[in-house]
């Protein structure tokens, strides 16, 4: 169920909302393999009625299942918007659609989450990346390969 605000409830007082929204309810599709929405979004919001608008503000936390772009290890990233605020116009050209005296906050929330997603998620800021494979003894002791030989050494033997 989307995050719906009934305008009739705002006539008497401000609303305080607390709850969760699943990724399916947010309708967020990321084509990024490194960032996935697996757990529900949690929110604590206060909604105020203004003249021809709504003001929504509060805290939004989105746990993301990520994969480090350097070392490819999976890790959890907590996207926290501690002071999220959104002005929702109810009149004019950019007004939010009102259906049965309700306004859906989900599109506004979705847009701000997409803007805050990590572009290159790292498991830690100083991640060293993938470990380089160690050179085994089999390559060093193979016949015909000496430490000084290279593809250029044979060309260096040519006399013009």
Closest CA to 63 of 76, 45, 44: 76
Flag whether 21 is in a domain: yes
Flag whether 142 is in a domain: no
pTM of full prediction above 0.85: no
Identify the pLDDT of residue 148.
62
**Do the Cβ atoms of 110 and 86 come closer than 8 Å?**
no
Flag whether 136 is in a domain: no
What distance in Å separates the CA atoms of residue 91 and residue 22, rounded to the nearest whole number?
30
Flag whether 84 is in a domain: yes
Identify the pLDDT of residue 109.
92
Identify the pLDDT of residue 158.
81
Flag whether 135 is in a domain: no
Element (DSSP H or E) covering residue 125: none
Measured at the alpha carbon of residue 114, what is the angle toward residues 112 and 120, in degrees to the nearest 5? 130
Identify the pLDDT of residue 157.
81
Q: What domain count does the chain have?
A: 1
Flag whether 51 is in a domain: yes
Flag whether 157 is in a domain: no
Domain extent at residue 48:
4-116
Flag whether 128 is in a domain: no
Per-residue pLDDT of the chain (160 residues; tens, 9 = 90+): 578 888 888 888 899 999 999 888 888 877 788 899 889 999 999 999 988 899 999 999 999 999 999 999 999 999 999 999 999 999 888 889 988 889 999 999 999 999 999 888 999 989 888 777 776 655 555 555 565 667 778 777 887 7
């Amino acid at each position: 169920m989307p995050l719906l605000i009934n305008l009739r409830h705002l006539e008497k007082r401000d609303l305080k909302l607390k709850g969760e929204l699943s990724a399916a309810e947010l309708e967020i599709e990321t084509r990024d393999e490194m960032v996935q929405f697996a757990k529900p979004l949690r929110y604590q919001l206060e909604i105020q009625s203004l003249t021809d608008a709504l003001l929504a503000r509060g805290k939004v936390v989105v746990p993301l299942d990520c994969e480090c772009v350097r070392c490819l290890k999976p890790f959890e990233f907590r996207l926290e918007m501690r002071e999220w605020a959104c002005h929702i116009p109810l009149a004019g050209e950019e007004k939010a659609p009102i259906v049965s005296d309700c306004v859906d906050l989900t599109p506004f929330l979705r847009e701000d989450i997409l803007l805050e997603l990590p572009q290159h998620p790292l498991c830690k800021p100083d991640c060293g990346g993938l470990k380089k494979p160690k050179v085994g003894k089999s390559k060093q002791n193979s016949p015909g390969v000496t430490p000084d030989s290279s593809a250029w050494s044979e060309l260096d033997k040519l006399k013009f």
